[in-house]
Structure 1
Amino acid sequence: MNSPLADQSSSVLAKAIGYATRLLSSREYSVKQLNQKLKARGLDDEQVQSTLKYLILEGWQSDIRFCESFIRSKANNGQGIQRIRFELAQHGITEELLEKALNEVEVDWQTICDRLARKKNNQIKESDSFKRSSKLERFLLYRGFEREQIRRSINRLREVGESSGDNDQQ
């Protein structure tokens, strides 16, 4: 099998591959991101495609690895699956690839939602419980959690508040 380097200008492709591998040595990139970065360096479509093909064949670039790394990173920063799903679509990740990555990455979304809800609840200065819950719900929706997860988290906060004697009269 011929290398893509044999098909085109060796020095241009070697420089492009060198650039891309330097990028990939610090973190994972999606094919779409690398495509944009290589085009910004002045490579034409054929050179970009040859470079990407070479990186994928050598195992240096993998959208599934990128996706798994992205999910872990965003989950650790308190983002929910809905927001992560949206952001991955912006990076050119298909729904099928996302589902495959989610099966590989073990994330307890409810625990993350609960932790974030407790933290945010302590920061909300609202004394009215309905307004407090509404603010908390909007915040968690913005962070990308599903409504059912949010409902469970808010209910758990109410249960803890009631059992500790906190009845919103401070």
Structure 2
Amino acid sequence: MKVSKKTYTVQEATRKLEHYCVYQERCHQEVRQKLISMHMIPEAIDLIIVHLLEHNFLNEERFAKTFVSGKLKIKYWGRRRLTYELKKKDVLKVNINQALGEIENEEYVGIFNNLAEKKVNSINEADKFKKRKKLIDYLLYKGWESHLVYEKANELIP
């Protein structure tokens, strides 16, 4: 039995990708991957991406800002993790820096302090050195800057 792959015309693929981008902000890499998975040829992929850019369905600067804001407020990621994840998505450095620049320092430190205090209360460890290490490892994994992490760990677990 032959399994046939669904094929799309450039117009059909363009409409499908417009909906894909309207549903949620996307980066160029995600859109390119989606088109490849739809078995589009490279020329068609380039044509569709240009169309999406020209009609503002695809905007990497907007994607970076939305990504940073969402991951900071929902997943409580620090600047280092945000930068790393955006680089993995091939987002341009200028867009990453612009998005990170929009984070209010007061809000950033507030989120960090709440996260650290919540985590320290959830760690069941009698040994204060092990408890401090668990807190530090957790906060570093979340991408918070090491100077903030060590300062806070020493403050919360003297």
Q: For this structure pair, what is the TM-score category when the shorter chain's length is used for normalisation?
A: 0.7 to 0.9
Residue 129 of structure 2: aligned partner: 130
1:151 positional shift: 2.2
In the alignment, which residue of structure 2 is the partner of 1:98?
Answer: 96
In structure 2, what is the Cα distance between the partners aligned to 1:135 and 1:151?
A: 12
Q: Secondary structure at the match of 1:138?
A: helix
Distance in 2 of aligned mates of 1:109 and 1:150: 13
The one-letter code sitting in structure 1 at the alignment partner of 2:33 is Q
1:26 to 8, 20, 23: 23
CA contact (8 A) 1:68 1:105 kept: no
Q: Which 4+ stretches in 1 moved above 4 angstroms?
A: none
| Identical-pair percentage | 26
Question: Which of 28, 33, 37 is residue 40 of structure 1 equivalent to?
Answer: 37
Residue of structure 1 equivalent to 2:119: 120
Deviation sequence 1:54-105 (CA, Å, 0-9, x none):
1101111100111111111110121111111111111111222200122234
Q: What letter is aligned with 1:21? A: E
TM-score (norm 1): 0.81
1:132-166 per-residue CA deviation (whole Å, 9 max, x = no partner) reads 1111000101111110111232244247xxxxxxx
Larger radius of gyration: 1
Q: How many residues align?
A: 149
RMSD: 1.7
Q: What SS does the corresponding residue of 1:135 show, helix, strand or coil?
A: helix
**Structure 2 unmatched ranges of 5 or more:** 1-7
Superposition deviation, residue 27 in structure 1 = 0.6
Corresponding letter in the other structure for 1:82? R
Q: Which runs of 5+ in 1 are unaligned?
A: 1-10, 160-170
Q: How does 1:24-103 map to 2 (within 5 A)?
A: 24-76=21-73, 77-103=75-101
Q: Structure 1 residue 131: deviation in Å?
A: 1.6
Q: Distance in 2 between matches of 1:12 and 1:106?
A: 45
Matched, 1:15 2:3: no
Alpha-carbon shift at residue 16 of structure 1 (Å): 1.5
Deviates more, 1:45-54 or 1:107-116: 107-116
